[in-house]
């Protein structure tokens, strides 16, 4: 995609894991030049095992990498010069970590007054703000885990939803601050957090309590707003299907597509709330119908009927999804060991196209020298930094 909206925006990113990198990844996909500052040897996120093994490849495309020893005077001075030459800084370390290094927001008030300084934290200002936090911590104390699992079995969501959503709020805050800067010329300190993000996401359940006077029950036990809004077994063992009939017109389409017997033509079920009260009558009939057809047959019928539906799919099955492969929603990347992979693009269409890949996943420090040149370091300064190992360059494997 040409003429990306954030072209020319320089971002220096001091971050690891998910929340900070996801913020940088979105800005990078939209055209920003995101400089990922890694410790010598590379971000530890690169070496995580198990569920963490996908963090780095998912959230670090379209970034350039420089490895700096922030514990050395020369490296710290170089890092400060990078920030002074940038419009945005991203960081997601423990509260006070960058301040101790002299890289806090106050350190750049005079040298870069227009800087947008973004911090991704566990908590915003208040009694909890010094606490360490994780996505799972926020889900547990913010009510999301309670809502996801059945009573007595709190369950975190099946992805880093709070890290990523918190990072998205970070992008919103950064873009808002940049817009104001265009008018006032002033920089800003922006923060988003895991806990407050979780509270925002369960706000609908808090509002339910306010409206009805009854606390929301966990999702597996909730009283649905619709009669048919559930997962059903099909004739194929293990092939499950979600169906949601969420309007009176969809109910009419559904009853035309499937023979529900007397229920389908009974005017007592014509309106949604009446159907909700009759779930015990309607749902068993629908379960029997769903169980008598293959999932493929049901998908075709539901597609024609215009009713909301979804096959229950594993994440790895999305590699072969026809829709994602047709519209550019999966982008080609190269892992640092040379293997090829396709991963989801930032899900925003601009003039009909999704953002692509301008810069493959970086090896640790592979862009160090070019970044220093771009930020005004001369050859002697670069040689001194590399020679003292304050900055290292990566050995780029053939792609």
pLDDT, tens digit (0-9, with 9 covering 90-100), for 60-95:
999 999 999 999 999 999 999 999 999 999 999 999
Q: Tell me: the pLDDT tens digits for 162-184?
A: 999 999 999 999 999 999 999 99
pLDDT at residue 397 tops 60: no
Q: Which helix (H) or strand (E) holds 119?
A: strand 116-121
Q: Which residue has the tokens 């990922």?
A: 36
pLDDT of residue 399: 35
Q: Which CATH architecture has domain 224-316?
A: 2-Layer Sandwich (3.30)
Q: Which residue has the tokens 């594993």?
A: 314
Per the prediction, the chain carries an average pLDDT of: 96
pLDDT at residue 21 tops 80: yes
- Spatial separation of the C-alpha atoms in residues 190 and 57, rounded to whole Å: 26
pLDDT of residue 3: 85
pLDDT at residue 304 tops 80: yes
Helices (H), ranges, 95-193: 97-100, 135-141, 144-148, 161-184
Q: Tell me: the pLDDT tens digits for 228-238?
A: 999 999 999 99
- Spatial separation of the C-alpha atoms in residues 252 and 136, rounded to whole Å: 42
Q: At what angle do helices 73-84 and 379-387 cross, to 10 degrees?
A: 140
At 394, the pLDDT band (50, 70, 90 cuts) reads: confident
- Spatial separation of the C-alpha atoms in residues 339 and 7, rounded to whole Å: 29
pTM for this predicted structure: 0.94
Measured over the CA atoms of residue 84, residue 89, residue 95 and residue 98, the dihedral's sign is negative
- Enzyme catalytic residues: 163
Q: What is the separation, in whole angstroms, between the first and last Cα of the chain?
A: 22
Given the candidates 3.30.2420.10, 3.40.50.10540, 3.20.20.70, 3.40.309.10, the CATH classification of the domain at 10-201+322-392 is 3.40.50.10540
Q: 101: buried, middle or exposed (CB in 10 Å: 19+, 13-18, 0-12)?
A: middle
pLDDT at residue 215 tops 60: yes
pLDDT of residue 1: 57
SS3 343: strand
Q: Tell me: the pLDDT tens digits for 358-384?
A: 999 999 999 999 999 999 999 999 999
Q: Where are the domains of the chain?
A: 10-201+322-392, 224-316
Question: For the chain, percent helix, then strand, then coil, each to nearest 5?
Answer: 45, 15, 40
Residue count of the chain, please give it.
399
pLDDT at residue 353 tops 90: yes
- Spatial separation of the C-alpha atoms in residues 239 and 314, rounded to whole Å: 11
- Spatial separation of the C-alpha atoms in residues 37 and 390, rounded to whole Å: 12
């Amino acid at each position: 995609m040409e003429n990306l909206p954030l072209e020319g925006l320089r971002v220096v990113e001091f971050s690891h894991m998910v929340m900070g990198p996801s913020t940088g990844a979105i800005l990078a996909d939209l055209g920003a030049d995101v400089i990922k500052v890694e410790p010598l040897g590379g971000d530890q996120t690169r070496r995580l095992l198990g569920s963490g093994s996908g963090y780095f490849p998912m959230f670090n495309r379209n970034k350039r990498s420089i490895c700096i020893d922030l514990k050395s005077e020369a490296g710290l001075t170089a890092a400060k010069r990078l920030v002074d030459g940038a419009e945005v800084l991203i960081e997601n370390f423990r509260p006070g970590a960058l301040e101790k290094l002299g890289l806090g927001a106050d350190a750049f008030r005079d040298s870069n007054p227009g800087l947008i300084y973004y911090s991704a934290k566990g908590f915003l200002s208040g009694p909890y703000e010094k606490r360490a936090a994780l996505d799972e911590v926020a889900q547990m104390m913010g009510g999301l885990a309670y809502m996801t699992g059945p009573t007595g079995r709190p369950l975190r969501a099946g992805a880093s939803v709070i890290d990523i959503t918190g990072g998205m709020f970070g992008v919103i805050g950064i873009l808002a601050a940049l817009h104001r800067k265009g008018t006032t010329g002033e920089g800003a300190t922006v923060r988003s957090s895991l806990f407050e993000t979780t509270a925002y996401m369960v706000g609908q359940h808090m509002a339910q309590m306010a409206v009805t006077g009854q606390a929301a029950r966990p999702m597996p036990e909730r009283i649905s707003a619709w009669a048919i809004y559930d997962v059903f077994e099909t004739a194929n063992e293990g092939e499950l299907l979600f169906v949601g009939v969420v309007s009176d017109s969809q109910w009419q389409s559904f009853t035309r597509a499937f023979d529900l017997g007397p229920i389908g033509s009974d005017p007592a079920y014509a309106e949604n709330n009446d159907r909700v009260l009759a779930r015990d009558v309607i749902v068993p009939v629908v379960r029997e119908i769903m169980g008598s057809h293959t999932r493929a047959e049901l998908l075709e019928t539901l597609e024609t009927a215009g009713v909301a539906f979804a096959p229950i799919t594993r994440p790895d099955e999305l590699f072969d999804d026809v829709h994602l492969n047709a519209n550019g929603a999966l982008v080609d990347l190269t892992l640092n060991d040379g293997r090829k992979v396709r991963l989801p693009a930032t899900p925003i269409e601009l003039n009909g196209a999704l953002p692509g890949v301008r810069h493959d996943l970086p090896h640790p420090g592979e862009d160090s020298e070019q970044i220093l040149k771009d930020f005004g370091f001369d050859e002697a300064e670069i040689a001194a930094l590399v020679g003292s190992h304050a900055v290292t360059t990566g050995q780029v494997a053939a792609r």
